[in-house]
A = this chain, B = another copy of it.
C-alpha cells in the first residue's frame, strides 16, 4: 500500500519516517514534516570520511554538516531517537566509481561496517517559513521536485572532493526578495541567504528549463529566480572523487529528522 504526498502532509515527522521506512512512500519530501530539519544524505567508506568532512567544513553554504554517524553505525543518533539511514530516506542513489549505478528504496543489503553517513542541511527546512510568510513555493504547490543546477562556482577542494557548487532555484515575487533574504538568513544550517538572484547565466546556468536534477519550475512575470547553495553539491564532488561506492539520497527525497527547524544547533538532546 502506498501513501500520497497529500496524505503525508497531514502527519508528524516520526510517522512520515515510519511510512518511508516501511516503503509506502518514495516521493519528494518538500512540504512534509513541517517544523523539522530535513537533511541531504551522503554515505562513504571511512577512508573518505576525513576528506569529506573537510570538504563540508570548507563549503558550509552548500554542505552544512548537521550529523555524522559512527563508523559502521547506520543510526544518526544526534538527529533523532530512531533514525536508520539504511531505510529512512524515500529513495537512494547508489554511485559506483563516481557513476550513478542504481536507484533503490532500501540500502540495507549494501551497508557494511566501514561505512559512515553524513547528514547535510537542506533548503526544504526554510520553505515552511517562506510559506508561513505568504510566499508561494511553486514546486510544493504543484507536487514537483525543486529544480537543481550545476553552476560555474567552484567549491573549495579537500582531498579528492572538488567540483562545481550545485544550487536550487525558487521563483520569488520581486517585491518579496528582501523578505526572503531576511527569512533564509535565520537558517544557517539550511544554506542561509541565497548565493545569487536574477540572470542565471551569471552563475553558468544556460537554461532554467533544463535542471540537472528535479523538475523545471516556471519564473513568472514580476518574479525573480533566486538560487540557494544546495546539498546536492557533494553528488557533483563524488563524480570527481570516484569512490568505489557511495550512496546518497535521491535529490529532493530527504532524511527527515527530529531536530526543530529553528533549533540553534542540529542536535537532539542526548537524553531523548
Residues of A whose CB lies within 8 Å of any CB of B are 46, 49-50, 53-54, 57-58, 60-61, 65-68, 70-71, 78, 154, 156, 158-159, 185, 188, 192-193, 264-267, 270
Contact = CB atoms under 8 A, between A and B. Distances in A.
Given A53-B50, A68-B54, A264 B78 contact: no
Contacts of A159: 70
Between A54, A66, A70, A193, the greatest number of chain B beta carbons within 10 A of the residue's beta carbon is seen for A54
A159 B78 CA distance: 14
26 contacts: A49-B50, A50-B50, A50-B71, A53-B54, A53-B57, A53-B68, A54-B68, A57-B66, A57-B67, A57-B68, A58-B267, A60-B265, A60-B266, A60-B267, A61-B264, A61-B265, A70-B158, A70-B159, A78-B156, A154-B270, A156-B267, A156-B270, A188-B188, A188-B264, A192-B264, A193-B264
Between A57, A154, A158, A159, the greatest number of chain B beta carbons within 10 A of the residue's beta carbon is seen for A57
Copies assembled: 2
Contacts of A193: 264
A78 B58 contact: yes
Contacts of A65: 57
A159 to B, nearest CB: 8
A265 B57 CA distance: 10
A265 B158 CA distance: 17
A160 to B, nearest CB: 12
Contact of A53 (B46, B53, B78, B267): B53
